[in-house]
Structure 1
Amino acid sequence: MKSLISVRELSREDVEGIIERASRFKGGERTSLKGNVALLFLEPSTRTRISFERACRELGLDTYTVLGESSSLSKGESFTDTLKTFEALGFGAVVFRVPFVLFPYDNLTDSLNLSLVNAGDSTHQHPTQGLIDLLTLKEAFGSLEGLKVLYVGDILHSRVFRSGAPLLKMFGAEVSVCGPRTLIPRDINVFEVAEVFDSVDEGIDWADAVVWLRLQKERQRQNFVPSERSYFEQFGLTRERYKRLRGTFMHPGPVNREIDIDGSLLYSDKSLIQEQVRNGLFIRMAVLEWCLKE
């Protein structure tokens, strides 16, 4: 029984195995697992929660969903005690999205007979999204070796960047970032990025693929940008910038139209957004199998 809480716990062999299984599931292969999975989502979610739920059902797993205020966490119960409750009730796995950072992870996994799958812990990790983006780019470009990938926008609050960048670098890609200096983490050098661009136009000229990130207004306790309009003009995917793109672009969703991306471009020819959503099902099937299959 395994858990997936951070991409930094994965070896290249682990990632290759998950990607290979996801590709086979996408091709129509199926397997059957038995057991109960709890979906504990304390933050809003559409794509992640529904794709995990469908992934469970495709694998023959029964799902039970606990949302926000319906959890005893809202009454002050600790996260560990909530997980112990699921364990006592015979669940085999808990998929969770929580508004706080989980660290150190050993405190959770060492004391529980459960598979834990992180569907997003605050601004820290979102490992299945990182795997989705890896698979999507691999399908689009074949090899990731030497591929130049640019993350644009709210890097500071992005668990997608913190999960995707290490995986892309594991497979030989170069990763750079671009955004307002107020939204670039002070420890950005930890991620060994190739470059920090102030100009999104310069970044686009450098990149083979661009990942636009959502401006996470709900996590911002101060004014990081002068206005949404000025942010879009400086860093958003406008129609003019779309013409400069020599490759493809992605966005993990949900998209703030006319802030992150011009709404008319979301499903354009250079967009991989729908493919990201499609791949979400198969990656999450592969992760659940990897965690639960003995």
Structure 2
Amino acid sequence: MIVQLYGTRGSISSPLRTPEYIQKVTQILEIARDAGPSALADIHKFISKLPPYLTHIVGGNTTCVSVLSSSGKRLILDCGTGARVIADELMQGEFSKGEGKIAFFFTHTHWDHIQGIPFFKPLYIPGNEFHFYSPFADLQERFEKQQSPEFFPIPFSALASTKLFTCLRPDETLDLEGDCKVSMYPLKHPGGSFAYRLEEKGKVFVFATDAEFTGEDFASVTEMKPFFENADLLVLDSQYTLDESFQKFDWGHTSYTMAVNCAVAWNVKKLVLTHHEPAYADDVLDIILQEAQAHAVALGNRTIEIELAVEGNVYKLV
């Protein structure tokens, strides 16, 4: 099972702005100046030693995650603006010929998780086949509303591919080809949201974006343990700082502090912090990462790996 991140921002897309780009370049040049000419003899080595927030762009696209099973079946979790990127990649192969198949799974249908659908080029190609899975019986109607003439020039019905919709029960486990099993769990979020657990050949990936966990919810965190327990990879909402989570109570998102608390309680091997606050620059997110890692140590857990969700990152669970 190969997991790749195509969109990691929350709420609204937030492209890298010119001042942020200039700040990155300035800091790199300052480090190079202080290191002296000899440090630049091997440019690649110099770059490899820079802080991650200077060598990578966390990304501004909203939520979209690709999962490739060992049998070659592709699943896509949510379809935010990051979906346009993977769509363009897929058009380099069988999807351009109308010979592709994908299973979409939706956590919920807030704008930042479905805005990529009208820009997903393979959906326009006759012959391609798409299975849409969610716990929402009216999912197709929601997509049609998004592409009504008031909001988009092309109706959802004009997407010429084959589109099949299946409404899942919260207690249902779906068996896909290649022994990949998919189950889901309801989360606390305005309008409703669901986590997905994917299991294949003894490896577990859990995707839980748009979820609010507070100190008051810790009893339910314990109740959720069987679903999240022992995940090899957990991609979890961590949009807020702890202070912000108090200011934005009931907005439906989690602080990175509580995200770490949950991951430790669930015995997760690797936690990836996602649904980044759109106002946060990469250097701010790097500070959040360091504080999250320190918090895990303060909880007595030195084994859990904690990373930032970065567009393009790939996780191979084999």
| Structure with the bigger percentage of helix | 1
TM-score range, shorter chain: 0.3 to 0.5
Indicate the structure (1 or 2) with the bigger Cα radius of gyration: 2
Which of structures 1 and 2 has the larger relative contact order (alpha carbons within 8 angstroms, sep 6+)?
Answer: 1
Structure 1-normalised TM-score? Answer: 0.34
